[in-house]
Amino acid sequence: MPEKKTQDYLASFKARQQDLADSSESIDRKLIELSALFEISQTINSSLNLQSILNNVLLVPMGRMMLAKGLILLKKEGKNNFSVETIKGLPNSLHEKEICLTNMPQHPFLISEIKENYDWLNFFRDFKIELLIPLIARTDILGIICFSKKITGKQFTQDEIEFLTSLSNIATTAIENALVFDEIKNVNRRLDHKIQELNTLFDIGKELNLTLDKDKILKLLSYALMGQVTVNSFIITLKENNDFEKSLVKGAQFTQQKGTLCEDLCKKCSFINTPYLRDDKTEFDNYLSDVGVSVVVPMQVQNETRGYIFLGEKVTKQAYSESDLEFLQTLGNVAIISLENARLFEETLEKQKLEEEMAMASNIQMRLLPKIMPEIPGLEIHGLNVPSKHVGGDYFDIIKINDKNIGVCVADVSGKGMPASLLMSNLQASLHSLVRENYPLDKLVGRINNVIYNNTDPEKYITFFYGLINLENMNFQYVNAGHNPPYILHADKSIEELSTGGIILGMMPDMPYEIGSCQLLKGDFLIMFTDGVTEAMTPDEEEFEEKRVIEFIKKISNHNSVEQINQDLIKELDDFSAGTPQGDDITILSLRITK
């Protein structure tokens, strides 16, 4: 073989040998990279802990390629917002820092090769970041792996970038799984919290349903606020009649407040229908901040606000969550229903107590009135009492003192209910004990006045008319102590008003009274009555008045019995009032001289 051909052959052989060596080295390197990727894949896919995955994704290439700095950003809610999740070789203050990345390439790139002037480039340049590898999930960027330049100063090779790209593809799936797992954990945590809240509400509801004690309900509500919401400063106000009143205050910041804090709070919060979280953006929020209120919870029954819960900040200093507000709304509405039930129950008890008192007072009143009309020679006499819906203090009596004298009286005790009935009983006992002592009428009434004055409050008083008829000569003496004046219709059709006397009973002690007198003749008619007659009203609030009583008396027929005349007056009052509810008791005592 010629020498030249031999040399060419040897050169060609050496070249082929070198190519084979290079190819073998490349294959070996690829195998090593594949093996490394396989090991990394096993490592990161064996965990669902996000931070563990991100740490491995950074540390493996940083150690392999001699990189000093690295970080991973993950996409947050929002179109282009990314948050720093993992840091190596950079300040910890960068953790959770958010960056808006627009026009981000969806392939690995070097910062030094970017020609455009994006705002976000300065962030990476400031921290000497050179290589960015996007984490692509389907067609969207899930995050970005970022590395600094090599410590050696060498450039990234194409093989290294391909390796990192493969690593990012493996990491993307693992990161997605970890994010899903974290979300499932968060959902479960929220579900556990909701279940705990529901159990709390269920337990509180059971406790609230077992009591109608307002103070106990408020105590249970305060325990729920402190235990479940971790707040120990709050005000609870409830609507009483038409005003909101402070029912429970806890926490020094509220107990130290002076003046009308609760009243002002409720007025300013009247527009709130759902739990309100202060956000310090309005003048109203500034007001809430000044008084230390973080959350306002209206307590509603059938869309009507019947109370408020004003909450200070949590003991933990954490912000109130949406879940907290939902819990507070449900808790408030459950509590206010129980508080309303307690209020209605208390009102029912009060009403029942009042009805029992009214029934007892009515019984006392009826027992004090004559059960039957006495038969008295020379007199036709009849009295009646028509109670109103309230028990009043009307009283009439016919007292046979002896064979020669008979006493008649009509009185009206101030007030209603049991106090009025007891005062009437006091009057009746005093009258019956004194009439047989043969006191002159002015002295008799004076003594009764002192008894009433000494045994009652200043605002209690009695209008009183008492008359004494001598059955032998039909002389009539009387004292009118501030009562509606009775009238006598004489047989000659003249009318006489009986007003002589003095002031009402019980106002002042030792008062003088004057005796009036007149002669009763056959055919004379005397009518005594209480102000329930004169104050009967029409629907237009026009009163019956004395003038109509006089007109009625003038029309009396001698052919009608005294009882019939009384009934006729009652009918005339009914016709006049035309269905207007009776405002006061009506009492009438009438008599006619028959011989």
Taking residues 372-381, report their average pLDDT: 91
List CB contacts of 402: < 8 A, sequence separation 6 or more. Answer: none
Q: Quote the pLDDT of residue 109.
A: 92
Mark which of 345, 380, 415 sits at the end of a domain. 345
Q: How confident is the model at residue 256 (pLDDT cuts 50, 70, 90)?
A: low
The pLDDT value given to residue 259: 54
564 part of a folded domain: yes
Q: What is the largest CA-CA distance in the chain?
A: 188
Residue 403 lies in a domain: yes
Domain holding 87: CATH number? 3.30.450.40
Residue 472 sits in a domain of what CATH number? 3.60.40.10
Instruction: Tell me which residue of 244, 196, 204 sits closest to 221, measured CA to CA.
Output: 204
pLDDT digits (tens, 9 = 90+) for 259-281: 567 788 888 898 999 999 998 78
Name the percent of the chain lying above pLDDT 70. 89
The pLDDT assigned to 478 comes to 97
Determine the pLDDT at residue 164.
87
The reported pLDDT for the residue numbered 2 is 59
Do 457 and 506 share a domain, yes or no? yes
Same domain, 19 and 165: yes
pLDDT tens across 524-567, in order?
A: 999 999 999 999 999 999 999 999 999 999 999 888 999 999 99
Measured from the Cβ of residue 466, the count of other Cβ atoms closer than 10 Å reads: 26
> Quick one: pLDDT at residue 499?
96
pLDDT at residue 445 in the model: 96
Q: Which two tokens stand for residue 395?
A: 């009283």
Domain span at residue 548 reads: 372-593
* pLDDT(19) > 60: no
Residues comprising the chain, all counted:
595
Overall number of domains in the chain:
3
Assess whether 536 and 576 both reside in one domain: yes
* pLDDT bracket for residue 251 (50, 70, 90): confident
pLDDT band at residue 223 under the 50/70/90 scheme: confident
Grade residue 508 by pLDDT with cuts at 50, 70 and 90. very high
- Which of 345, 360, 384 is a domain's end point? 345
Q: Is the pLDDT of residue 211 over 80?
A: no
Q: Are residues 17 and 157 in the same domain?
A: yes
pLDDT of residue 255: 64
pLDDT value of residue 523: 92
**The predicted structure's pLDDT at residue 30:** 57
239 and 162 both lie in a single domain: no
47 contacts 175 by C-beta, under 8 angstroms: no
Domain identity same for 123 and 224: no
**pLDDT confidence of residue 426:** 87
Residues 255 and 334 in one domain: yes
Residue 428, CA atoms < 13 Å, CB-side half-sphere:
22
Stretch 148-158: mean pLDDT, rounded?
Answer: 89
Residue listed under structure tokens 């009625």:
552
138 confidence band (pLDDT: 50, 70, 90): confident
Quickly state the pLDDT bin for 8 (edges 50, 70, 90). low
Using only C-alpha atoms, the chain has a radius of gyration, in whole angstroms, of 50
What 8-state DSSP symbol labels residue 431?
Answer: H
167 plus 215 within the same structural domain: no
pLDDT on residue 326: 86
Q: Which range (111-125, 160-174, 347-361) has the least confidence?
A: 347-361
Do 37 and 170 fall into the same domain?
Answer: yes
Residues 325 and 386 in one domain: no
Write a three-state SS string for 259-321. Answer: CCHHHHHHHHCCCCCCCEECCCCCHHHHHHHHHCCCEEEEEEECCEEEEEEEECCCCCCCCCC
Report pLDDT for 534: 94
Residue 203 lies in a domain: no
Is residue 535 one of the residues assigned to a domain?
A: yes
* Mean pLDDT of all residues in 448-474: 92
**Nearest-CA neighbor of 548 among 580, 508, 575, 521?**
575
* Mean pLDDT confidence for 203-228: 79
- Kindly state whether residues 159 and 93 are assigned to the same domain: yes
193 located within any domain: no
Q: Check pLDDT > 80 for residue 77.
A: no
367 belongs to a structural domain: no
For residue 212, pLDDT over 80 is answered with no
Domain-located, residue 78: yes
33-42, 215-224, 244-253, 427-436: range with lowest mean pLDDT: 33-42
Same domain, 412 and 547: yes
Q: Which of 162, 181, 200 is the last residue of a domain?
A: 181
Q: Is the pLDDT score of 522 beyond 90?
A: yes
Confidence band of 438 (pLDDT split at 50, 70, 90): confident
- Is 32's pLDDT higher than 60? no
Of the ranges 15-24, 55-64, 67-76, which one carries the lowest mean pLDDT score? 15-24
Q: How would you classify residue 346: left for phi > 0, otherwise alpha for psi between -120 and 50, otherwise beta?
A: alpha
Region 188-192: what's the mean pLDDT? 76
| pLDDT, the chain, mean | 85
